[in-house]
Amino acid sequence: MTQFVPTSPLQRGIWFNEQLVALGSAYTVAVTAHLRGPVDVGRLARACTALAARHPLLTAGCHNLDGLPWLAVGEHPLTLAVEPAADGTVRERVERACRTRFDLSAGPLARVWWFPLGNGGGVLVLAAHHLIVDGRSKDILLRDLADRYGPDAPAVAAQPAGPGYTMPPEHLVVAATEYWWRNPPRPVELPRDGGVRPGDTVVRALTPRTRTRLAEAAVALDATRFELLLTVLANCLAPDDGPTSIAIELSVRTPADADRIGMYVNELPLTLPTPPTGSYAAALTTVRAGLRELYAHRTVPLAMCRPGTRPFLATAAVSVSYRRIAPGPVFAGVATTVDWSAFNGVARNALHVMIADGEQTHVTFQFPASAGARRRADALIDRVLVVLDRSLTAPQATLVRPQEEPPPWT
């Protein structure tokens, strides 16, 4: 039975952008899991069905009703597509699945693939439109899918299918409007040619030594891991003159939403004075103060504060997302390796930095594809890690500015 549920202001912003131009896979959110060992495909398919029962949003379609989007929950079953692939072709097929373009008018908004390999294992891909999932949703979905694959799957109630996030109260909108009047943003407008740019990506993992220093510095400097990492990024990405604007993906989840999938992310730009001067600890203080001021307005979409703002894919040319990832998931009887930063193949701004911080810490740069951009991104991400390690080791020392050729996104 189909149930129509309203969308939140954040969801309506995504939907509106999709109506204006062809965005391809710009709003596709994907996660992949390499399962090594004998996998029972029938049990995996049944787990997908149980997953959809737990999270009804996975069965939704989207319809325009009197000029507003509504989610039609129960319109599309979530099924497991099994596509045998040789070792030489599985990577290409996985990339294609991660870059799926979801048609909002036709549906479905979520899909699951299983690419079996000759050893009894394979690669699992779960992809969905950003209208119904965010980064935290990937953790929830893989964990719940693994639980339902096990022999003793828990019997739990379905999560509500509503938007979760609701309209912020008027006093918060007024306060946010005053804040953005003092700090006018410059969002990245939708492409005027009606399309998005192909993207490329480079990935690095923090060494165990750097992760240890990160944990120690968080205690010594009374800062979050995100604040420590963002301070170094802001330093390395800052232009030689003028302020730095970095869009921050902020969660608007409440404790009641902890186990629900959905779109609970509000991206807002943070403006910092540049170039940073003094020590890393001093720059950290500036970044922390700017973040704390921004956090007060995290529940208010930017478009609500600035009438006439053009539709945008990002609220700044450079954006950053950070997620703490819990251990797991554990699929019974098989070893699991998860790629939490699966790339959808599209560059939505000049540079997007993804930080996945769990049992390992991976930093991913996503940027418009070109031969020169990849070379510069490789050099810059390596430089960021060098400056990070040096800054964590001696936080009172002068913060070092990169000397290499500046990347195009600065």
Domain with CATH 3.30.559.10 in the chain: 3-149
| Class of 3-149 in CATH | alpha beta
How confident is the model at residue 408, as a pLDDT?
A: 52
Q: Determine the Cα–Cα distance for residues 168 and 173; give it in Å rounded to an integer.
A: 7
pLDDT tens track for 276-312: 668 899 999 999 999 999 999 999 998 888 776 777 8
- Residue linked to tokens 């020392």: 397
Asked if pLDDT for residue 89 goes beyond 70, the answer is yes
- 272-295 burial code (b ≥16 CB/10 A, e <16): bebbbeebbbebbbbbbebbeebe
How confident is the model at residue 118, as a pLDDT?
A: 78
Share of the chain above pLDDT 70, in %: 95
Average pLDDT over residues 348-366: 93
How many residues appear in the chain? 410
The mean predicted confidence, pLDDT, of the chain is: 89
Asked if pLDDT for residue 161 goes beyond 90, the answer is no
Contacts of 224 by beta carbon, 8 Å cutoff, 6+ apart: 218
Q: Name the residue among 131, 178, 133 with its Cα closest to residue 297.
A: 178
How confident is the model at residue 73, as a pLDDT?
A: 94
| Residue 389: other Cβ atoms inside 10 A | 16
Between the CA of residue 241 and those of 268, 275, 291, 401, what are the distances in Å? 22, 6, 21, 13
Asked if pLDDT for residue 330 goes beyond 90, the answer is no
Asked if pLDDT for residue 157 goes beyond 90, the answer is no
pLDDT tens track for 211-252: 999 999 999 999 999 999 999 999 888 877 778 889 999 999
Q: Determine the Cα–Cα distance for residues 92 and 99; give it in Å rounded to an integer.
A: 11
3-state secondary structure 166-194: CCCCHHHHHHHHHHHHHCCCCCEECCCCC
How confident is the model at residue 401, as a pLDDT?
A: 62
The string of DSSP letters for 79-128 reads -EEE----HHHHHHHHHHHHTPPP-TTT--SEEEEEEE-TTS-EEEEEEE
Asked if pLDDT for residue 275 goes beyond 80, the answer is no
pLDDT tens track for 106-137: 889 999 999 998 778 899 999 999 999 999 99
User: What does residue 272 show for φ and ψ, rounded to 5 degrees?
Assistant: -125, 145
Between the CA of residue 403 and those of 274, 305, 383, 386, 387, what are the distances in Å? 16, 38, 9, 12, 12
Q: Determine the Cα–Cα distance for residues 85 and 90; give it in Å rounded to an integer.
A: 5
How confident is the model at residue 167, as a pLDDT?
A: 83
Cis peptide before 163, with omega less than 30 degrees from 0? no
Cα angle value 183/188/190 (rounded, 5°): 140
Domain 170-329+339-393 superfamily per CATH: Nonribosomal peptide synthetase, condensation domain (3.30.559.30)
How confident is the model at residue 55, as a pLDDT?
A: 95
Poorest-pLDDT segment among 25-34, 186-195, 198-207: 186-195
| Residue 268: other Cβ atoms inside 10 A | 23
